[in-house]
Structure formats: structure tokens, C-alpha cells
Amino acid sequence: MSIDIDNELNEAQREAVLATEGPVLVIAGAGSGKTRTIVYRLAHLVEQGVDPAQILLLTFTRKAAQEMLSRAETILGRPLTGTSGGTFHSFAYATLRRNAADIGFDNGFTLMDRADSENICKEVKDALKLGKGDRSFPKKATLLDMITKSRNKELTIDAVMEREAYHLSPYLDAVTEIADGYARFKREHALVDYDDLLFLLDKLLAENEPLRNQLQARYRYIMVDEYQDTNLVQARIVKHLAGTKGNVMAVGDDAQSIYAFRGANVANILEFPKIFEGAKVIRLEQNYRSVQPILDLTNQILAGATTKFDKNLYSDLKSDVLPEVVHPLSDQTQARLVVDAVLEFQRKYMLHDIAVLFRAGYQSFPLEVALTRIGIDYQKFGGIRFHEAAHIKDVLSYLRLTLNPHDLLAWQRAMDHIKGVGPKTVTKIYQAIHTNDEKYLVKMTKKHDTLRELLNELNALRAMPPKPSAVLERILAFYQPILMEKYPDDYPKRQAGLEQLSQIAVSYSDMDQFLGDLSLDGDPDEEKRKENAVVLSTVHSAKGLEWSAVIIIDLVEDRFPSRRAMQRAEDLEEERRLMYVACTRAKQCLKLFVPSSVYNRASGMSDPTLPSPFVLELPGDVFQRVNESYGGGLERKQMQKTPGATPSPRHDYGDETASTSAASPKVDPSKLGFCKHKIFGKGKIIAQPEPNKFKVNFPGFGIKTIIGDYLELL
């Protein structure tokens, strides 16, 4: 069977398939037929007489490799017997097994799974007598996370902790000691974990020249999928196997590199042409997923990236409908407007073809409650469903007890943090409360101070007027130290979820209704995709998927981009890529929600927000602006591009945006000196192209055009 490359592939895909000799980098924009290109190249190589055993296909999931090989076999009409296709880890495991003696394992080694590794961390911790009696000491899963992140990012435990888990810094020395002990334990017992597979293979290939030459001779054609997701050690393995001039094709999209938290390093794909001499760079820019107006918007998001491969996505799929940027008055009204948008889309699409995306799992909590209230089924991916989060259940147990002191399950949950009070003791306390057994209660409260505090708090709560927001405010103050002690590993993240619960409570006046809406929930079925249930997903979990209609919420500073990302230029760049990934999931319709204020639990008021910089940069001709009116309706406002004007950051938001930052001093146009910006930091004003608009050179970010209201003179 002859492969019909001319009719089955577009020009760029054909070029990639036919470029079989030397290093090749394929920059595959979102929805551009990346898998199709790899499959046809596999088939083409074999049709040209290449022995399938000389082909190595490296992917990030076994399923992806199997699918590609299967599709190539279908095109060829015969099996690809002998082709090595699989993950980096499976390839490393097979190679190391054959050469175990060369890496110091004369009698072989045993590969551990995640549970094994966690248990060894605990064993080492106990042997070192660390954390004994300290309930705040990091749990075994957190210890392993810190160790594996340190290895994959090739950073010290100290550096990882500083960036990602600063609240654990008091335990730095202990965690470092456990990491050293964990490594020792593995060596002594001939054990290998998943990270070891890569690092041992890297070391073996670097030091064993005969083996390296042998593998280079065997695998004459190497293909690597999702190259933007490789970490440093994976990139080194590819270089060992291919040499600097080998027939290696890396396929990926620098603009979709969003897994730095796992160790992925975008520099691997950006520097591929430097690492591999004479590398040919081919761009796949024709998108087969999205209508052109969506791509016009995503191209503008990428335009602001500081380091990238230039690409311009285009599509033959036309539409007269622009993406919408919706400005709710607050994050409290956002949930209602998103539900309205889902109902609107439901007239045209099945619910499972509609997705609401967000930066962090807690951001969907108000929406989950709103959807449940009107009976719309949903399925959540990434983060924990609101009703399943342990800390939310803890707080709700106190609320439940203010209404129903006979709720035994709530008593068990409320006393869960009291050391020495197990389920049997809870039942005895419960019986004593309901039989007025004061003697037993006095005995137990003398023995357990925390029990006395809990019972006093519940009495005080029951005496309060049953206004959900006020009662919850008091509960959260009481619960804060419990939260920190009970969930020491990740309480800052859980705190954000409690803030959302507090925000939800504000819109309720009836405690029964509040608890009822929170407790009504369908049966979670996370394993398989539900038919006719709207998808709620973090952007990370949405990568590689697509829906006809996509809604992205909370596009304001500190939420998307996240607060942590605002501190380092490379983190902000990754947030931009995350925004690009989110928008390119949409096929037909895209709505971006930018709440004008967010509820502040401390003040009980809503604070004004700054729109996400990725929204502020959009020129007005790529979206339709929709504002929520004070009457609750929506007002559509078509932004028009000024003829001949170059799109620039904040160009189309004018005074409406500036009003949210009225306290910022305006820049004196006669002075083009140094200034400061909330996101980009210190910069040098180099020009004033328009009144109250300035070009500023920010180190690490480049030249940005900013409205004067957002700049402070230094």
C-alpha cells in the first residue's frame, strides 16, 4: 500500500514527514495535526526501506505511543514489528535491565512504585527519629514530593521549598536529611524509583561510550513527542542517543510548556537548534480545531511572550462570532453569569461539549454550588470537588451542629482533630451530651482542653443569629489553628478554598438553604467521562482536550496569573502559556470572565481587581466586550481598533480600567525617567507615543506600552 502524503497532509506536515535526515524540530501549534504528522513520518520511514527496529519513538504516555504505532500500521497495511515505542521511563528501564552490572547492580535491581517510595521515606524518617510527636511534620507523600521535585528540577531541597512550600521551611534540615537517607536506603537494598531510571540511564550513556555508540547505531531514527514537556535529564538522554547530528525529530510547542512544577524545562525546546547542529525548524501553523476569531485572540496572547518560536495560527474554519470578554461586577455574580452562559450554550451543544476552565481547583467552588442548585450535572477534573475537600467538610460539620446537635457524623468530624479522642470516645461524648451526663463531660473536658474549647465554641455559635456569613466568620477564626495543625503540608492552598466558602455564604440569609445547597451533590464518577455533564477543569488537566464552547473564569491578577507567578519573570511567562492552552481548547465559542471585584473576607467588602495582564494586552478588534450592568443585565460593547494603530497592552481598556487603580500617581509626561509597575517591576520610560501612554523597558520583560495610571515615578 502506497502512502498518499500529497493529499493527506498540508505543506508543512509534508515537509516534516519528508525531512528524515539530520536533526529536525517541529513546532506544532495547538490543534495543528501533530500526531498525524508523527504517524505519517513513521509510515514513510518504513515505506522508504528503514528497518522498523531502527526507529525509536519516545512519548509521555504508553497510550500515546501505542496509538501512533497502531495508526502507522493501518496506513502502511502491515505491522511495524521491532519498532521501539514507549515512554522515557519504559525505555530507560529496559536499557538498564540489560546493563544492570554497569550501574552497580550485579544481581539486578527492583523498581519501586509510588507507594513503596512513600513508605521508605517514612521508614527513613522514623529511623532518624525525626518528627516524632510533631503532628505538623510533613507527611510521607509530601516528603517524597519534595525529593522528586528536587531531582526532576535538579535544584536543592532548599530552592524547591523556597519557591513552592515556604511554610515548610522550618523542616528544611530534616527533609534534606531524609532525602539523603532515602537515597542511601535505595542503594543498600538495590531499589530504584522512577526518577532513578532517568538519572541512571543518563549516567550510563555519559560514561559508557561503547554502549552509547551501540545504541546510536541501532536507533538511527529517533522521534520525541511533546518535547516541551521534557526535563533536563530527558533532554540529555535524547542528546546521548542521537549525538549532535543524528536523525532526531523533536515535536512539540514551546507555547504549551506548562509543567514546570513537574520539572519540565521550556529551554529544552527553545534551545534545540543550538544543541543540535544544523537543525531544521518546521512550523505547523494550520489549526484544524478552532474557528479563526478564536485563533486571532490566541495569536495576540502569544505575541506578548518574551522568548518563543514565532508562529501564527490560522484556520479554514470561519465564524462571524468574536470571543467575548465578560466583566461581571464581582466574583459573586460571576457564578450566576457563567451558569447563564452554560444554559445558553446548552441550546446548541451537549453539556459534555461545554467546559469551564480555571487556574486553581478552588476557583470553581461557587460555580459548583450554583450548578447544583439548579440541577445541572457537572464533572470536575483537577483539584478536588468542593463537597469532597476535607477542610470544607470540617468547617461544615460545625455549621451542621449549630442546626442539629443530634448529627453524630458531624460530631465525629468536629472532634477529629482532638488527640486521644477516637470514634468510640466520640460516641460516648455524644451520648453524654444527649443524656445530660455532666459527670462524664466534666471528666473528659478536664482531660482534653481542646474538647472544652470545641464545646464552648459550639455553644457560642448556637447562641448567634443564624446568618450564614456571620456564623461562618466565627467558625473560620476558630478553625484556623486546627487547619494549620491538621493539614500542615498544604494549609495555604486549603485556605483559598475556605475564602471561597466564605464568599458563597455572603449571598445566603438562611442557614438551612445554605447547608442544603452545599450538601446536594451528584454521585462523583471521576474515572470515565460523563455524558451530558458540563466539564469543570483546571487548565493543566484540560491540556490535549477540546470542547465546542469554553468559558475561562477569574481572569484577574492574583488568580490568573496566580499570585506566586507574579514574582518571577519565567513564572509569568508560563502563566501566559497556560492562558494560551486554555483558549486553544475552544472550537466554536470562547468567553473570558473578568470580575471587576472580589470578595474580601477580612473587610466583608468587595475589593476592586486589576484584569489579568493577558486580557489587558488584547487589541479591541479580537473580542467583544460585555459588561454586567448594576441592574444585573449584560451590555455588549464592540471595541473598535483605531485605524493604523498598533495593538498594545492596556490599549483598549482606557479610563474604565484606570478607574480601578485611581490611587496610583500619574506619570509626569515631561520626565522620562525610571518608574515602577505592579507586575513588571522597575523600568525605564523611553517614549510617550500618546497622552497618558508610555513605552517602558522592563528588564526581563522587554518594552511594554502602559497607561500612565499604572505607573509610579521613582
Spatial CA neighbour of 360 closest among 520, 546, 575, 533? 575
Pairing state of beta strands 324-327 and 84-87? unpaired
Element (H, E) at 184: helix 172-188
Q: Is the pLDDT of residue 340 over 80?
A: yes
For residue 414 the three cell numbers come to 468536629
CA distance 456 to 470: 17
Contacts 24+ apart (CB under 8 A), 208-214: 208/99, 208/102, 211/99, 211/102, 212/240, 212/241
% helix, strand, coil for the chain, step of 5: 50, 15, 35
Domain definitions of the chain by residue range: 11-97+197-286, 116-189, 295-385+528-636, 402-510, 674-713
Q: How far apart are CA 363 and CA 383, in angstroms?
A: 10
Residues 160, 146: contact at Cβ < 8 Å? yes
| Cβ proximity of 483 and 491 under 8 Å | yes
Residue 348: DSSP 8-state: T
Instruction: Locate 456 and state its grid cell.
Output: 464552648
**Burial of residue 640 (number of CB atoms within 10 Å: 0-12, 13-18, 19+):** exposed
Q: Residue 104 burial (CB < 10 Å; 0-12/13-18/19+)?
A: exposed
What is the CB-side half-sphere exposure of residue 37 using CA atoms within 13 A?
34
Residue 270: its pLDDT value, please? 94
**35 annotated ligand binder:** yes
User: In the structure grid, which three cell numbers stand for residue 399, read together?
Assistant: 455549621
177-192 tens-digit pLDDT: 999 999 999 988 888 8
Give CA–CA dist 418/429, Å, rounded. Answer: 13
The predicted pLDDT at position 661 comes to: 31
* Model pLDDT, residue 647: 39
Cα–Cα distance for residue pair 658/667, rounded to 1 Å: 13
pLDDT band at 434 (very low <50, low <70, confident <90, very high): confident
Give the DSSP letter string of 531-580: TT-EEEEEHHHHTT--EEEEEE---BTBBTTBTGGGGSHHHHHHHHHHHH
Provide the CA 571 distance to its chain's centre, in angstroms. Answer: 12
For residue 45, the Cα-to-chain-centroid distance in whole angstroms is: 37
Q: What is the DSSP letter of 139?
A: P
Q: Residue 451, Cα to own-chain centre: how many angstroms?
A: 39
Coil, helix or strand at residue 358: strand
Give the pLDDT band (50/70/90) at residue 520: low
pLDDT of residue 665: 40
pLDDT tier, 92 (very low <50, low <70, confident <90, very high otherwise):
very high
pLDDT on residue 522:
42
Q: Would the pLDDT of 84 be above 70?
A: yes
222-226, 533-537, 563-567: range with lowest mean pLDDT: 563-567
pLDDT attached to residue 671: 54
* C-alpha neighbours within 13 Å on the C-beta side of residue 468: 21
Could you identify the residue written with the cell 471528666? 443
DSSP single-letter state for residue 227: G
**To the nearest whole number, what is the mean pLDDT of the chain?**
86
The whole-model pTM stands at 0.79
Q: What pLDDT score does 654 carry?
A: 35
Q: What is the DSSP letter of 276?
A: S
Please spell the DSSP secondary structure of 638-698, one letter per residue: E--PPTTPPP-TTTTTHHHHHGGGTTSPPP-TT---EEEETTTEEEEEEEEEETTEEEEEE
The confidence score (pLDDT) of residue 148 equals: 94
11-97+197-286 and 295-385+528-636 agree in CATH topology: yes
- Rounded Cα gap, residues 577 and 409, in angstroms: 44
pLDDT tens digit sequence for 124-157: 999 999 988 888 899 999 999 999 999 999 999 9
When mean pLDDT is compared across 153-157, 403-407, 616-620, the lowest value belongs to 403-407
Please check whether residue 393 is in contact with residue 372, taking contact to mean a CB–CB distance below 8 angstroms.
no
Please state which of the ranges 261-270, 552-561, 588-597, 602-611 shows the lowest mean pLDDT.
602-611
Query: For 99-118, what is the mean pLDDT?
Result: 86
Burial class (CB in 10 A: 0-12, 13-18, 19+), 706: buried
pLDDT for position 519? 64
Distance CA 621, CA 296 (A): 9
- Inform me whether the pLDDT recorded for 283 exceeds 60: yes
Q: Which of 338-342, 625-629, 651-655 is modeled with the greatest confidence? A: 338-342
Contacts 24+ apart (CB under 8 A), 471-479: 471/399, 471/402, 471/511, 472/395, 472/399, 472/501, 472/502, 472/505, 473/502, 473/601, 475/395, 475/398, 475/399, 476/395, 476/502, 476/601, 478/398, 479/394, 479/395, 479/398
Q: Looking at the DSSP assignment, which residues form a beta bridge with residue 57?
A: 85, 223
Centroid of chain to Cα 409: 34
Class of domain 11-97+197-286: alpha beta
Dist. CA 166–CA 158, nearest whole Å: 9
Compute and round to an integer the Cα radius of gyration of the chain: 28
Annotated binding-site residue? 34: yes
Tell me if 133 is assigned to a ligand binding site: no
**If you average pLDDT over residues 586-607, what whole number do you get?**
87
> For residue range 640-691, what is the model confidence (pLDDT) as tens digits?
443 333 333 333 443 333 223 333 344 454 557 888 876 677 888 888 877 7
In the prediction, which pLDDT does 648 show?
39
31 is in an annotated binding site: yes
CATH node for 295-385+528-636:
3.40.50.300
- In this predicted structure, the answer to whether residue 266 has a pLDDT above a threshold of 80 is yes
pLDDT tens for 113-131 read 888 899 899 999 999 999 8
Q: Out of 105-114, 495-504, 516-525, which region has the weakest mean confidence (pLDDT)?
A: 516-525
pLDDT band at 315 (very low <50, low <70, confident <90, very high): very high
* pLDDT over 90 at 32, yes or no: yes
Neighbour-count burial for 72-97, b at 16+ CB within 10 Å, e otherwise:
bbebbeeebeebbbbbbbbbbbebbe
Residue 502 labeled ligand binder = no
How do beta strands 221-224 and 247-252 pair?
Answer: parallel
* pLDDT tens profile 478-495: 998 888 888 888 888 888
